[in-house]
Every structure is written in C-alpha cells, then in structure tokens.
Amino acid sequence: MDSEYLARAGFVAKILNPANLLTAKKTVEQAKLKPEDDNERALLAARVHPDTGNYIPLPFSLPAIIPANLFIVMGMLQPNQTNKTIAAWQIINQSFNTGVNWANANKSGGEQSPGELVKGYTVSVLASCAMSMGFDRVAVWRESAFLRRMAPLCGVLGANVVNVAVMRGRELTEGIAVVDQRGEQVGVSQVAAQQAITHTIISRNLIAIAL
C-alpha cells in the first residue's frame, strides 16, 4: 500500500512540475499518439484535458499552480494589510482558482454555463474576503501579529472549499464518467465525483499551506 501511494504521489509531482509549461506542443502531440512511460503520461495529464482532448490554457494548467500560488501567497502574507489590499489579493487568488477549476473540471457531462462560472466566482470572492477580513479583525482585537499574517491564508483555505464545491457542483448532482483500465466508460457515479472533489480540495489547501 505504501509503495502504491508513493508511486501515485510521484506521478502527481510529475504532473505539477512547472517544466511541463515549457514543453513544446510537438512533443505533446508525439506523446498523444502513444505514451510510453510515466513522464509522457504525466505530460499529457498536465497539458491535455482527458475528457475533451483539447489543450488546457497554460495559465490554468496544473503545472502553473505552484509558481502562480507562490506569487499570490507571498502577496497575501505581506504585513499590515488594509481591507483594500486584502480584498485585492483575494480577488486575484480566486480569479486564478476559478480559471484552474474551469479548465480542469470533469467535462464528461458537458461544459459549465457562463452563469455557473459567474456564480462560482462571485461566491468564492465574497467568501474569501469575508473570512480574511473577519479573521483580521479578530487578530487586531487579540493584538496578534502572527494571526494577522495568517488571516489571508485562512480566507484562502475556506474559499478553496467554496470555490471548488460551487464550480464543480454539477458533478455532485449528475456524477462523473467512470472508465475501466482500457479507458472505456462503464457508468456514471456521484460517489466518484464526491471523492474527486474532496481530493481536489485537500490537495489545493495542502499546496497553499506548503507555500
């Protein structure tokens, strides 16, 4: 079990490798014909959507998560922020998160409507700003510099839950396609959707905490 977990973790690390952003499309096209090893399969997972076969926009692809979040988290953790700067960084963060969720969401049930995208974005921005500013007020009241530094992070962690849940809410109600080892669809499952969304929330928050 441990070896299987380590193998999966290693594969995910290969997908998240920022170097995948620099790989030429010609190399990706060659891998699409017949991926020969985990490196090529990870490259495909990073650059090509598994349901549509289309290229994922680079700024919202999985390899962009670490460098983008490094920049965003550094901005959010600046000391002595005002409500305006807190709100600005949360808007930037949720704009990026919404793009990532839209670009990488399961599309076996079809694309999200513009209304669903706007709803998810609006709710996540309001939630992140409210949680960050609320926690910041508590930190000021407690006169804790450490808590003030952590206020934006708390907003990010809470908003990640809201953002993913709202942006991918259709998957929870309609389920996602389940395929066998040959890649053939064998059914649609709401349980699989719940597991996928839960794992997404956990992984996004772990990345934010690590950064």
State the pLDDT at residue 182: 63
Are the C-beta atoms of residues 86 and 152 closer than 8 Å to each other? yes
23 or 194: which carries more pLDDT confidence?
Answer: 23
What is the arithmetic mean of pLDDT over 25-32?
Answer: 90
**Does residue 143 come out as left (phi exceeding 0), alpha (psi in the -120 to 50 range) or beta?**
left
Confidence check: pLDDT of 172 > 90: no
Number of H helices, E strands in the chain: 9, 2
pLDDT at 181: 67
Tell whether the model's pLDDT for residue 2 goes beyond 70: no
Q: Is the pLDDT of residue 197 over 90?
A: no
Higher pLDDT, 49 or 148: 49
**How does pLDDT run across 31-84, given as a tens digit for each residue?**
888 887 888 999 999 999 988 889 999 999 999 998 998 888 888 877 778 889
Query: In 3D, which of 65, 89, 91, 93 has the Cα closest to residue 200?
Result: 65
pLDDT at 24: 92
Cα separation of 49 and 143, whole Å?
47
Of 149 and 75, the one with more pLDDT: 75
Neighbours of 83 (CB within 10 A): 12
The per-residue pLDDT of the chain, averaged, comes to 80
The tokens 């020969």 sit on which residue? 36
User: Does residue 1 register a pLDDT over 60?
Assistant: no
Instruction: Specify the pLDDT at position 108.
Output: 67
DSSP per-residue letters across 98-152: HHHHHHHS--TT-PPPHHHHHHHHHHHHHHHHHHHHHHHHHHHHHT-HHHHHHHH
109 pLDDT tier (thresholds 50, 70, 90): low
d(CA 105, CA 157): 19
Alpha-carbon gap, residue 137 to 14, rounded angstroms:
40
> Based on the number of CB atoms within 10 Å of its own CB, is 182 exposed (0-12), middle (13-18) or buried (19 or more)?
exposed
Q: Summarize pLDDT for 83-94 with one digit per residue, the tens.
A: 898 889 889 988
Containing H/E element for 172? helix 169-174
Average pLDDT over residues 124-140: 81
154 vs 134: CA distance, rounded Å = 10
Please tell me the predicted confidence (pLDDT) of residue 113: 76
